[in-house]
């Protein structure tokens, strides 16, 4: 099974560290899942640029 690399900007890592643990864990779970499935069900194509976005609660992952 092929796995993909998930990269975060340092600024995103810092923001993630500051979130409450419940939200942090939800987002990290979605990021880990992206390693196996880069376009999960519900992913939306970005307009005007390459890539997709997914939701993790009130947050978007690009």
* pLDDT tens readout for residues 35-61: 999 999 999 999 999 999 999 989 999
Place of tokens 């992952």: 61
Q: What's the mean pLDDT when you consider all of the chain?
A: 93
- Give the per-residue pLDDT at 1: 76
Residue 5, in any domain of the structure:
no
The structural domain count of the chain equals 1
Residue 34, in any domain of the structure:
yes
Which two structure tokens, joined as six digits, stand for 21?
């643990």
pTM given for the model: 0.84
Residue 37, in any domain of the structure:
yes
Residue 40, in any domain of the structure:
yes
Quick one: 51 exposed, middle or buried, by C-beta within 10 A (0-12, 13-18, 19+)? exposed
> Domain range spanning residue 25?
10-61
Residue 2, in any domain of the structure:
no
For the chain, give the percent of residues with pLDDT over 90: 92
Residue 52, in any domain of the structure:
yes
Residue 4: half-sphere exposure toward Cβ, Cα within 13 Å: 12
């Amino acid at each position: 099974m092929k796995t993909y690399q998930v990269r975060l900007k340092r600024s995103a890592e810092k923001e993630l560290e500051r979130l409450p643990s419940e939200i942090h864990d939800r987002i990290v779970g979605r990021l880990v899942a992206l390693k196996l499935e880069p376009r999960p069900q519900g992913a939306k194509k970005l307009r005007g640029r390459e890539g997709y976005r997914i939701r993790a609660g009130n947050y978007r992952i690009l």
